[in-house]
Structure 1
Amino acid sequence: MENKIFSALIDPETSIEGLALDWLSEYKQDPNTAVADVINFLLKSCGCDIPVQPHDIVHPDSAAETFSPIEEKARNYAGVEYAIVSRKVARFRHAFEDFFTSIVNNAGEDGILYYDEDQEDEGGNIIFSLIKWFSPMSTAHLRSFRHTATVAVLSMITELCELYKRRVDEVTKLVAQVNALKEKKKAKKLSSTEKKQLGNKISDIEAIINIENNKLSTISNAIEAASVSVWAHRNRDVDPRIRVDCVKFLAKWISIVPEKFVDASSLKCIGSGLSDLESSVRTQVLSVLVALFKSLYMDDSESAAKGAFGQFIVRYGDRIRQVAEHDVDDSARKLAVSLMTILNKLDILEEDAEAANESVLSQLIFDADDRVRKEAATYFVAAVSRAMDDLEIHENVLQKVQAALPEFKESWVFFKDIGIKFVTILEKTDDDEEEEEVTERLLLSNKRFDALPSRIALASSSIHDVMILKKSELYLEWQELLEQLLYDFSSFDIPKIRKIDEGDVTSYIEACTLDEPELQSILLDVLFGFLNSTIKSFSSNKLTKKRGQKEAANPQKSLEELYSRLIDAIPSLLEKFSFSDSSTAKVLRLISLIDLETGFVKLNKEDVYNRIVEIAVKKFQISQSSELLREVELIFRSARYKGSSFADEVESKLVELMEDLSYDVRDKLGNTQFSEISILESLGKIERLSPILDVQDYLDVSVQLPKGRQDILAKILAEQVAKFPTDSIESDELEQRILFVKTVVNILRHYSISKFAALILPTAGLTTTDKQLLDTSVVSSVLTTIERLSRPSNDLQGSVNTNVTDELRIFLNLTMLDIIISGWSSKVRAEIAGKADFQLYSIVPETVPAKTVAETMRLFLRIEDYYLDLTNEEKNNAPDLDEMVGYIASDESDLSKLTELQLEYLMCEIASRVLVTASAGLWLRASEFVKRLAANKSRISHRYMNLLRDISRQLPTPPPEEDEEENPEVEVDIDLDVDDVTGEAMQLD
């Protein structure tokens, strides 16, 4: 079916204004043909080539009967995509909307919108003749019909609102003129002639006002008819895209004519959208609310719309906070936080609601999502600014103090307040976590991000980003915080202080002084965050658009100046904060921000780096702090793997460390008083060095055991893991034993992977027979130990070790999969290279063992249950598969104590291993398991959804079936007879 309107709109050169005028001219000459052209245009836009004829338009009451056979035929070939949602037709959606708005606008200018001689019985409104056909089409079963007709009507309503506003403005001006003339007419000095002239002028204007009011009435009736017949039904449509469009257009109408659309039905639509099942709808609703509150409260005037939205927030405030805390869509969460920030800033909330918002916002500064953190940081910075205004340190006081103590900076007051606020938030978080009620525990702490760098550093980076982007008047420099951290507050010049009024000095000094170790430690994290944000801004366009034009002019030079200042300060910071391992770790963490070649080599500061490495080595030898050991490990890793000039020197120090640690373990194993705990510290440090150095050389050594026995260290460690206690033991001892198992298994994981990797190195030759047998024996022992220890929790064929927690089983199963994947990958690459070590490869299973498959999936299902329970989400089950792996729900697992973010992380860990093994063909019945992983992906998180976004690409391609039909049926887009997400039966208008 050819349609001139459709053909014109897909041409980017077409003048839409001219096309609308041509159609109006045709409408004036032959309304039925013109309406038929528009209906056929909609059908063509839906992918339907079955036209209506002009004679069908004569009887608009039979529109539903006319569409019914057309829709029935269209079902046979209608596709999923149609013009207004297809990306193949560039800018069609925009042109489509513009066409209908141009029709309404030009009809208003022409006058035909208000009166049509051929349709006097309908009030002369062209809109009615279109709505009578669009309305039944918008209730069709086919999504393409409903969506296309709905967008057409919503576009017309938008332009009707614009016309209504212009007419209202015009009437307002005319009424003002009449009132002014009436006041003028009352003047006593006017003659009777002049009064008569004014009376005639008033009558003329009032006649125009009557005409304009009639136009307003016509427009208002058209808006009412269109919105009642289409929008009122489609805002609850089963298709989320239609619901999104209904909310989006409603927002436009409210911003244009709030007096007509801020009512109970509109607010109910927006409010219910906050709980919509589709994240796209929730996101659109929140975006609308953010825009509306910004526009409605631009001035201080009172309005009915403001009052209505004030009541709306009272009713739906809790739901907005829930979205900010728990929504699976981080975009929705970000908008919810933005809305809460705006509401608090507008000062329109009740005291309790404002306090609830503040509680949520202050904790979301630690959120895992960067966008959410930045929105919360906007509120945090504003709160700091307000607090400083309340401190009442006046400008004259600052001048006095800085004259006597010029080294003091005004920013020190702000930095200390930032630190205090972080202390308060952390204390409140800890208090919340101590409460036993599940409803308390599942709140914001589940979204907290505890990985390195610390959550305070991440939050501080977001705070500084907000300052750079000028979302706040407050702007603080990292250099001044560094000076504050290095300043010795115990060395005040007493004579200088006495020259100033003691009260002023006391209040100012107290507001600047960092006298508590906890506060100093927090501000070290704040320094990291500010530095991180500043360094990133040098490589982006933030500074050129916002602050720091000088730095933006030469970012490389600015970066080198930053490096130089920071490198010079690190030794002093290490000396000052050596009183605790935690503070030392935070100082060492600053090195991760520095590019080694640019910062140390190019700036001739190698001696500083060597001094830092010496300190790091000593700390690694004597410290037991996991936080400090982690930072030292990162320093070693950076030097070894980032191609720096320090690689060889650092490697020699690592070799010495590893030899000492290995010797310590061997020595203690040979002692008759040996205990696992006695070697745990050294093993923990070996574990940290295992990814950096080849651990084979240190585990393939012979150990003399008591009673004359001798064996390889790696095999002895595997045997120690296999001795995991089966009897009931104290929780503290069990915790230590589990830590021992994890540490040793992780070392053996690196050891096994290194064995496989050694076989495909370019310089590696075939190993000797004795070496093959040794490697095979040790790696086989490792796999056997892991498999036995991770015995399925419901394996009835053997005894179950109840001391092995579900979290430990997850770790063991993931380790098993890592080793299998590594062995398979090495085998494939070695065969390609024309070499193989069959002794070692023979122990790698051809597929993942059935017990490992079943237990991995059981653990995944348990994690999924706990996650969905925490987030109050419904679960899509797959009973056959769940029963096949023997899954039984349990409330007694240690996994129940994990947070939402930790559970999500574990699901991602398992899913990634399953996908890799499935893509390699190592996972039996992979498609069933992978589909089960994806069953609830939309209810978990965007990170998890992205991992499983296209599972068809993750699986091996199955062979084509011989009986496959040559002409498969085209996918038909047919909806059930459902009108909305609540499952109500569709009402056909």
Structure 2
Amino acid sequence: DVIKHNGKLVPRAVKNWIDRYESSQRPATCELIMCIFEACGAKYNIDEDLLDEINVDEVVLELVSQAKAGDVEDFVTSKQKDLRGFKDNLTLFWDTFVLECQNGPLFDEQLMEMCINFVTALSWQVKKNTPPRHFRHVSTLIGLQLATSFVTVAKTLSQSRETKQRQLIAEEKKKRKDAARIESLNKVLSQTHDKITKIEGMIQAIIRGLFMHRYRDVDVDIRVACVKAIGGWVISYPSYFLNDLYLKYIGWTLSDKNVAVRKSSIEALRAIYEIDDNVPSMALFTQRFSNRMIELADDVDISVAVSAIGLFKQLLRHQLIKDVSPLYDLLIDESPSIRHAVGQLVYEQMIAVPNAEEGEDSDKSDVQLKRLLTILKDFASDPILSDYVIDAVWEEMKAMQDWKCLISMLLDDSENQELTDVDIASLCRVLGGSAKRSVGEKLVPTIDSRKATLTKAQKEAFESSKKKLTTAMIKPHPKLLRKYLADKSKVCYIVEIMQHMNLDLYSLKQQEQSCISSLELTRDAFFKHGDRKTLQTCVNTLVFCASETKADLQDAAQRVLKETTDEVIRKLRSAIEHAGETEDDYSLTVNLRRLQHLQLAMPINNEELYKDLLTLLEDFSDLEDEAVQLDLTNIFLYVIWYLKSIDHDNPDENQLTSLITKRSTLYKHLETQMDNVISSFSDGQTKSLLSSTICTIFSDLCSLFSKEKLSSTKIERLGFSPSSERLEKFWELCELRLSVPDSDDDDMELEREEEADYFSQKDIVITSAAKLVAHEMIPKDFIGSEIISHYVLHGKGVEETIKQLILVFKKNMKSQELCSLYLDAMKKAYSRHLEDDEEAKPKSFELCKELANRLSATFSGFARNIHRPSILKLVRNGVEHAFEDTPTQLSFLEACVLPFLQRLAAADIRDIIENVQSRVNDDDVDQDPTGWRPYQTFLEHLQERVSKTEAPGQ
């Protein structure tokens, strides 16, 4: 009861037991052994008179029989509140027992031998009868704790033996030896040695009888307990355990299939390698298992990988491995935890490490920054990957926040400057990225888009960093802009820094002119370049300054922004006026792009410009695709800002009429361009970027002006619904865009540029379609199954979008409707497979199977029982579809029907077997055995499934 309910009373309970043992050994021994049985949830009385004759195996068999009859309790997995501390109390009891008994009962061979025998027997097979899992779990906990406590006692005795040995040697060296003392020391040494021998014998009995079997138990918790235990033994008692005989068990479990076991193994090794004196004895072990340790740094589980990186660092510290290159790829891993763990290691090993050639300067900021630039050279061709590297080392590398050093290196024009143009571009990226991180912004995008909740201390720290950044940047910022104004690979990072500064400090430090100079230079950069990254950064910076500054400085910022807007409008209208006069429409395209970025940040209320944009589409049919795409986007943005300007609670009727006209005009142009692009696909022209834009605008327009959404509102007049014919055209365009191989995209060059999106065009297209379905802008059965049929075809981004759409379907649809949708999706995917050429068919068949597996997995757990009738109907309809065209469509059974059968009971599967067999004529099978092979395979799978389910003991 103390172990089950009240751990605080364990020490007193142990002392009381010792008192009883000293008074009468046999009853106390029986009591202790029965305590082991009760901890397993069983009851068995031992007659003290028959204690010497007890047969351990027979007792354990009786306990196993009780378990099979259901007459035992499981305290380990019990959910009872008062049993939550059972495992801790159990191990505490046996630890206290050993430590309290080390000067007495511990060395009673009969007592400890009997305890160890029962513990090992309860953990292992007796006469081909395996104890239930909780028996093994409890006995393993007891056995491992006994061994751990024995190790503690052995360690204490070993230290005592060493002390007495030193005393004996010292006594024997004396000229006047004390014979009595020497005799006493020899006697104590002999007794201590005997005790250590007995303790080590008990440890060995537990290792051979329990540990060597349970470290590979099917139960994960038992395996984890074994790994943690042996790791602790090695650290506590290295003279006995620090050798390959025991270390190999930790090495073997590095390859365990379970995450928790692998992580426990790594943590055990980290603790062992942490002790410098252990390393020389581990040379052979390290040589044998170091490759596996390195491999785990790229483990599928993030926590294991991070822990393995820490182990990698230990190996490097002891110079057991010298090559850091295997971890280079992990600097750009998607997981922030892995990136930062590798970043810490790379910083310590490659950036902060002293270098004899650099002498005392090795810890200076400029030296460390140059080392970082050397690493970044390997990623210079991809700015996104460079951001990953910068983000990985930022927290460790304080030199990245040495603003004066960074600025000095960028402004240095001396001949002694050792930096190449690539290095300077990387240094600008480091400056911009570090500025962003220092004020709490994310440098690398994450899947979790939620805004982090900051504590008061974090907010104060970020404000302090912002103040330091601003103070360092106020004067040199215009100089940096002037120097790098003409280089688009550098200037955007310098421009963006203003968004992370405390602009009020310009006024407080009377540096308003410096701010105005930076704004004017930002405007110059906006007109100097035409790439998306620079344009977006310049616009965002100008808008930020116009809203965040105050008084005269705000007036100046708003003036610069207005001048920028007016100049864009003037240049664009001029370009439209001269459109078609030359083959190169660069001026038109770049100014359309500039207008787009302005409109993404703020409204441009210019009706004449809007008319010019319409004229461009109406009067020029031979525009380049990018010009058409940008023109459509700008018209759409103009319409959206117009919608936003309307008072939804008290709308002006004239405004509504005007907006309806604008919306209708845009919609007609979308229809025209959609038809043109579909025709161009037929002619072999993919027009990938334009098709993606059309799909996105069409989806957003339908969503914003949805008749259902706007019904019963004061702007109901604005609502409209696209025709079914147009929706079919929309999905046709989506599918055409999705069918384009990535290598053939006409926008691949754009995606390689520095301003590339983190999301592919295919993600955008599928999101456009999924949004219309999820928000019920169009019926689910219209293109819902079409979208799902693309689930596994286009990478992680598309997968995640469709996965979220399926969750919406599961929430809002009845089971039967959902299964019908799944079946239609699989039919469409299978139809594409049949249309493939022979070379592509094996891959598309596997994709059909993967789709079916993903969809069937949504019915796991209790859901399979709830959805059983619908799943059964899906299977029957799937079988019917497979037999509509035999033997051509028979492979549909294996590819798409079989995964759902795994969710059904044996009785249902037998019905399906009868259904399938009733459809088959044996003569047909004999005439074309190859064609009917899928049918035979399907039938074999079903029969195997039934036999397994109905096997005895299953």
* Interval of TM-score (by shorter of Structure 1 and Structure 2): 0.5 to 0.7
Counterpart-to-counterpart distance in 1, 2:814 and 2:692: 25
- Residues 60, 121 of structure 2: 8 Å contact kept: yes
Counterpart-to-counterpart distance in 2, 1:803 and 1:34: 77
SS for the counterpart of 2:118 is: helix
SS for the counterpart of 1:725 is: helix
SS for the counterpart of 1:466 is: coil
Does residue 279 of structure 2 align to residue 373 of structure 1?
no
Counterpart-to-counterpart distance in 1, 2:375 and 2:201: 56
The AA in structure 2 aligned to 1:370 is P
1:911 CA drift (Å): 1.9
Does residue 242 of structure 2 align to residue 262 of structure 1?
yes
- Residues 753, 819 of structure 1: 8 Å contact kept: yes
SS for the counterpart of 2:105 is: coil
1:516 CA drift (Å): 2.4
Q: Within 5 Å, which residues of 2 pair with 1:543-622? A: 556-557=463-464, 559-566=466-473, 569-591=476-498, 593-594=500-501
Counterpart-to-counterpart distance in 2, 1:758 and 1:243: 58
SS for the counterpart of 1:656 is: coil
Give the structure-2-normalised TM-score: 0.68
- RMSD between superposed Cα atoms in Å: 5.0
Q: Within 5 Å, which residues of 2 pair with 1:164-313? A: 164-184=154-174, 187=175, 194-195=176-177, 198-295=178-275, 297=276, 299=277, 306-313=279-286
- Residues 564, 603 of structure 1: 8 Å contact kept: no
Does residue 414 of structure 2 align to residue 420 of structure 1?
no
Describe the superposition over 1:97-145 as per-residue Cα deviations: whole angstroms up to 9, x where unpaired.
2211111111103x2111x3xxxxxxx2533221221122223443222
Q: Within 5 Å, which residues of 2 pair with 1:286-435? A: 286-295=266-275, 297=276, 299=277, 306-325=279-298, 327-349=299-321, 354-355=322-323, 358-385=324-351, 389-392=355-358, 410-423=364-377, 425-426=378-379
Does residue 423 of structure 2 align to residue 519 of structure 1?
yes
Counterpart-to-counterpart distance in 2, 1:26 and 1:700: 98
1:82 CA drift (Å): 3.4
- 2:531 is aligned, of 609, 620, 625, to 625
The AA in structure 2 aligned to 1:574 is L
Residue 956 and residue 693 in structure 1: after superposition, are their counterparts in 2 closer, same or farther (change >3 A)?
Answer: farther
Does residue 3 of structure 2 align to residue 23 of structure 1?
no
SS for the counterpart of 1:108 is: coil
1:953 CA drift (Å): 11
Residue 535 and residue 35 in structure 1: after superposition, are their counterparts in 2 closer, same or farther (change >3 A)?
Answer: farther
For 1:679, the equivalent position in structure 2 comes to: 628
For 1:129, the equivalent position in structure 2 comes to: 114
The AA in structure 2 aligned to 1:788 is E
- 1:104 is aligned, of 91, 98, 103, to 98
For 2:140, the equivalent position in structure 1 comes to: 150
Counterpart-to-counterpart distance in 1, 2:481 and 2:815: 50
1:385 CA drift (Å): 4.8
1:293 CA drift (Å): 0.5
Give aligned pairs, total: 756
The AA in structure 2 aligned to 1:146 is R
1:211 CA drift (Å): 0.6
1:39 CA drift (Å): 5.3
Counterpart-to-counterpart distance in 2, 1:26 and 1:949: 60
Residue 756 and residue 575 in structure 1: after superposition, are their counterparts in 2 closer, same or farther (change >3 A)?
Answer: farther
1:664 CA drift (Å): 4.1
Counterpart-to-counterpart distance in 1, 2:636 and 2:863: 32
Q: Which has the higher contact order (CA 8 A, sep 6+)?
A: 1
Q: Structure 1 or 2: larger helix share?
A: 2
- 2:732 is aligned, of 785, 788, 798, to 788
Counterpart-to-counterpart distance in 2, 1:570 and 1:922: 61
SS for the counterpart of 1:719 is: helix
Residue 37 and residue 342 in structure 1: after superposition, are their counterparts in 2 closer, same or farther (change >3 A)?
Answer: same
- Residues 699, 714 of structure 1: 8 Å contact kept: no
Residue 34 and residue 380 in structure 1: after superposition, are their counterparts in 2 closer, same or farther (change >3 A)?
Answer: same
Counterpart-to-counterpart distance in 2, 1:699 and 1:676: 27
The AA in structure 2 aligned to 1:105 is L
Counterpart-to-counterpart distance in 2, 1:759 and 1:309: 70
- Residues 361, 376 of structure 1: 8 Å contact kept: yes
Give the structure-1-normalised TM-score: 0.66
Describe the superposition over 1:289-347 as per-residue Cα deviations: whole angstroms up to 9, x where unpaired.
1111112x1x5xxxxx534522222222222222212x121111111111112211221
- Residues 429, 493 of structure 2: 8 Å contact kept: yes
Counterpart-to-counterpart distance in 2, 1:543 and 1:481: 30
- Residues 695, 734 of structure 2: 8 Å contact kept: no
For 1:655, the equivalent position in structure 2 comes to: 603
Residue 568 and residue 930 in structure 1: after superposition, are their counterparts in 2 closer, same or farther (change >3 A)?
Answer: farther
For 1:917, the equivalent position in structure 2 comes to: 809
The AA in structure 2 aligned to 1:113 is L
For 1:66, the equivalent position in structure 2 comes to: 62
- 2:670 is aligned, of 714, 725, 750, to 714
User: Any gaps of 5 or more consecutive residues in structure 2?
Assistant: 125-129, 443-451, 563-597, 646-657, 746-759, 827-845, 871-954
Counterpart-to-counterpart distance in 2, 1:529 and 1:695: 34
- 2:774 is aligned, of 806, 811, 821, to 821
Counterpart-to-counterpart distance in 2, 1:162 and 1:248: 15
- Residues 466, 501 of structure 2: 8 Å contact kept: no
- Residues 167, 216 of structure 1: 8 Å contact kept: yes
**More off after superposition, 581-590 vs 200-209:** 581-590
Does residue 6 of structure 2 align to residue 11 of structure 1?
yes
- Residues 691, 750 of structure 1: 8 Å contact kept: no
Residue 653 and residue 915 in structure 1: after superposition, are their counterparts in 2 closer, same or farther (change >3 A)?
Answer: closer
Q: Within 5 Å, which residues of 2 pair with 1:478-489? A: 478-489=402-413
Describe the superposition over 1:502-548 as per-residue Cα deviations: whole angstroms up to 9, x where unpaired.
xxxxxxx74xx36423212211222234334433499999999xxxx
Residue 293 and residue 599 in structure 1: after superposition, are their counterparts in 2 closer, same or farther (change >3 A)?
Answer: farther
- Residues 42, 66 of structure 2: 8 Å contact kept: no
1:624 CA drift (Å): 4.3
Counterpart-to-counterpart distance in 2, 1:131 and 1:634: 73
- Residues 153, 230 of structure 1: 8 Å contact kept: yes
For 1:899, the equivalent position in structure 2 comes to: none
The AA in structure 1 aligned to 2:689 is L
**More off after superposition, 644-653 vs 918-927:** 644-653
Counterpart-to-counterpart distance in 1, 2:814 and 2:470: 48
SS for the counterpart of 2:112 is: helix
Does residue 804 of structure 2 align to residue 856 of structure 1?
no
Residue 930 and residue 72 in structure 1: after superposition, are their counterparts in 2 closer, same or farther (change >3 A)?
Answer: farther
- Residues 749, 819 of structure 1: 8 Å contact kept: yes
For 2:896, the equivalent position in structure 1 comes to: none
Residue 248 and residue 711 in structure 1: after superposition, are their counterparts in 2 closer, same or farther (change >3 A)?
Answer: closer
Residue 143 and residue 265 in structure 1: after superposition, are their counterparts in 2 closer, same or farther (change >3 A)?
Answer: farther
- Residues 64, 136 of structure 1: 8 Å contact kept: yes
SS for the counterpart of 2:209 is: helix
- Residues 687, 747 of structure 1: 8 Å contact kept: yes
Describe the superposition over 1:369-428 as per-residue Cα deviations: whole angstroms up to 9, x where unpaired.
222222222232223456652333567xx9xxxxxxxxxx952232222212221x327x
1:149 CA drift (Å): 1.4
SS for the counterpart of 1:103 is: helix
Counterpart-to-counterpart distance in 2, 1:641 and 1:76: 72
1:225 CA drift (Å): 0.4
**More off after superposition, 210-219 vs 949-958:** 949-958
Q: Percent identity?
A: 16
Describe the superposition over 1:600-641 as per-residue Cα deviations: whole angstroms up to 9, x where unpaired.
899999998887777667766774424334545765897999
- Residues 617, 631 of structure 2: 8 Å contact kept: no
1:910 CA drift (Å): 3.0
Describe the superposition over 1:750-800 as per-residue Cα deviations: whole angstroms up to 9, x where unpaired.
2222223994599x42533xx54xx3237x566323322345999xxxxx9
Residue 458 and residue 265 in structure 1: after superposition, are their counterparts in 2 closer, same or farther (change >3 A)?
Answer: same
The AA in structure 1 aligned to 2:315 is L
Does residue 89 of structure 2 align to residue 95 of structure 1?
yes
SS for the counterpart of 2:300 is: coil
